[in-house]
């Protein structure tokens, strides 16, 4: 494990679930559309389609595809499965962009503002650049830089993404810390020599499916929020 | 020309010369190093090596190369030509990163802050992502998003760069306006259907080589500064 007395220079953040609340944002918007489906079920089903869709790209079954387009493919299946045939093209396009409008967790914008005073803060998300830029503008997330699978043409946990952050900023891998609410993402980063900070997001999948957010020894830092992380890092 | 009553959604900015003063920043830093060379001459010579170096990449003579690495190649030649043999490796690396520390023109940060209230504002520079992110953090440039030749693996004026901005933000080319102090860059953007705003930077090459910044009819907008551009666009 890197020397904890030597601070990282760059903090790279997972976004969906770590910085923004995809579950609550989608469930609320779908409920408000009064489509006759459960926002809770719709949000969970949409997100559940995400890993299998990325695997189709990584297996070479699909060419390189932006997450906006993967979300739209999954949405097409969901609209059939949930029996929502009457949504027109403009409505589908608008609903698909709900991922650009995800709300931040309450601590995200103030936590990032504090962390930005001492570190280069960037996204490292499988979301595409336009999605992440729209989200940042809408949610007031003060990124120094938006990095995405789109820049590296590879999804996490491909090493090209984690090592790509170090390469972009011309620093050693141990000078980059990945901040995420997902242990598999953090494990991928550590395997490339990056440092890891776990953020508790017990309600990522809603109150009906609470996550186990207990500390694991392999993560260098563990914090209940981005404000708590800022305090741990002396910001 | 696009309907001037329909405003663009995205403003994409050329950076070197348009937003930051490369000439003055480099001349001052080189003079302060007391290397026995003229900062004025050194700055102009370094910049003059830039287009030929990019042409070597575009001609296939060199593989894809980040601007940081092109700057370093040119610097190597300059140190020999100016007879500065005594600079050590750390000194060369530090000097090469002067491009990350370029100072903004006085109107740049406040002008961008105003434009950001109504438009998505991004860079569209041949500079690499890390260079532009370091510069933004250092100079307080409040970009919504950093786009670069590095994202598109092509330098301006390749159409892949101008059209890439529209693709990233999922908008039509005429919804993007390029803001630049260089007519050739603006012509490249217009050829792809983007809109064009010229910014006067009469001292881009120093007081010894004033630029002709008189208006040309092919540019949709012409402004003396980014604050003047903000006023023209109703911000």
> Domains of chain B, with CATH numbers?
10-21+103-232 (3.40.50.1000), 22-100 (1.10.150.240)
Q: Do A137 and B144 touch (CB under 8 A)?
A: yes
The pLDDT confidence band at residue A119, using thresholds 50, 70 and 90, is very high
Name chain B contacts of A120, Cβ cutoff 8 Å.
Answer: 133-134, 137
User: CA-CA distance, B223 to B180, in Å (whole number)?
Assistant: 10
Token representation of residue A140: 């007031």
- The complex scores an ipTM of 0.95
How confident is the model at residue B85, as a pLDDT? 74
User: CA-CA distance, A186 to A198, in Å (whole number)?
Assistant: 8
Q: Do A128 and B68 touch (CB under 8 A)?
A: no
Q: For A169, which residue in chain B has the nearest alpha carbon?
A: B130
Q: For A144, which residue in chain B has the nearest alpha carbon?
A: B133
Residues from B contacting A (CB-CB < 8 Å) are: 68, 120, 122, 128-130, 132-134, 136-137, 144-147, 150-151, 168-170
Name chain B contacts of A132, Cβ cutoff 8 Å.
Answer: 145
Which residues make beta-bridge pairs with B199?
B223
User: CA-CA distance, B89 to A192, in Å (whole number)?
Assistant: 27
Residue linked to tokens 């729209």: A134
How confident is the model at residue B4, as a pLDDT? 63
Residues A157, A163, A166, A171, CA torsion sign:
positive
For the segment B214-219, the average pLDDT, to the nearest whole number, is: 97
Reduced 3-state DSSP string for chain A? CCCCCCCCCEEEECCECCCECHHHHHHHHHHHHCCCCCHHHHHHHHHHCHHHHHHHHHCCCCCCCCHHHHHHHHHHHHHHHCCCCCCCHHHHHHHHHHHHCCCECCCHHHHHHHHHCCCEEEEEECCCHHHHHHHHHHHCCCCCEEEEHHHHCCCCCCHHHHHHHHHHCCCCHHHEEEEECCHHHHHHHHHCCCEEEEECCCCCCCCCCCCCCCCCCCCCEEECCHHHHHHHCCC
Alpha-carbon separation of residue A69 from A12, A21, A88, A186, B20 (angstroms)? 24, 20, 17, 26, 36
Q: Are A142 and A112 in contact (CB under 8 A)?
A: yes
A84 vs chain B: nearest CA distance in angstroms?
Answer: 25
Most B CBs within 10 A among A93, A135, A168, hence the mutation to make, goes to: A168
A212 vs chain B: nearest CA distance in angstroms?
Answer: 34
The pLDDT confidence band at residue B6, using thresholds 50, 70 and 90, is confident
Token representation of residue B194: 């983007």
How confident is the model at residue A2, as a pLDDT? 61
Alpha-carbon separation of residue B102 from B24, B95, B145 (angstroms)? 8, 12, 19
How confident is the model at residue B114, as a pLDDT? 98
A25-69, pLDDT tens digit by residue? 999 999 999 999 999 999 999 999 999 999 999 899 999 999 999
Name chain A contacts of B147, Cβ cutoff 8 Å.
Answer: 129
Start-to-end CA distance of chain B, whole Å, equals: 22
**pTM exceeding 0.90:** yes
User: CA-CA distance, B223 to A32, in Å (whole number)?
Assistant: 45
A131 vs chain B: nearest CA distance in angstroms?
Answer: 8
Name chain B contacts of A128, Cβ cutoff 8 Å.
Answer: 168
A148 vs chain B: nearest CA distance in angstroms?
Answer: 10
Residue linked to tokens 């020397």: A3
Name chain A contacts of B144, Cβ cutoff 8 Å.
Answer: 133, 136-137
Q: Report which of B181, B224, B164 is spatially closest to residue B232, judged by C-alpha positions.
A: B224
How confident is the model at residue A106, as a pLDDT? 98
């Amino acid at each position: 494990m890197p020397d904890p007395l030597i601070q990282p220079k760059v903090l790279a953040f997972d976004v969906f679930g770590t910085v923004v609340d995809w579950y609550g944002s989608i469930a609320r918007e779908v409920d408000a559309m009064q489509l006759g489906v459960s926002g809770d079920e719709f949000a969970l089903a949409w997100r559940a389609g995400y890993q299998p869709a990325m695997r189709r790209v990584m297996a070479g079954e699909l060419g390189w595809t932006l997450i906006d387009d993967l979300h739209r493919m999954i949405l097409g299946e969901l609209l059939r499965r949930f029996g929502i045939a009457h949504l027109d093209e403009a409505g589908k396009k608008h609903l698909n962009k709900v991922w650009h409008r995800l709300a931040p967790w309450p601590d995200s914008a103030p936590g990032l503002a504090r962390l930005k005073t001492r570190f280069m803060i960037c996204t490292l998300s499988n979301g595409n650049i336009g999605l992440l830029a729209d989200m940042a503008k809408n949610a007031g997330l003060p990124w120094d830089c938006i990095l995405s699978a789109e820049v590296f043409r590879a999804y996490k946990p491909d090493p090209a993404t984690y090592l790509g952050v170090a390469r972009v900023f011309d620093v050693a891998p141990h000078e980059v810390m990945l901040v995420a609410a997902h242990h598999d993402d953090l494990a991928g980063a550590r395997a490339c020599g990056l440092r890891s900070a776990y953020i508790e997001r017990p309600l990522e999948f809603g109150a009906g499916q609470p996550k186990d957010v207990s500390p694991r020894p392999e993560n260098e830092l563990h914090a209940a929020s981005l404000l708590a992380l800022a305090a741990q890092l002396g910001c």
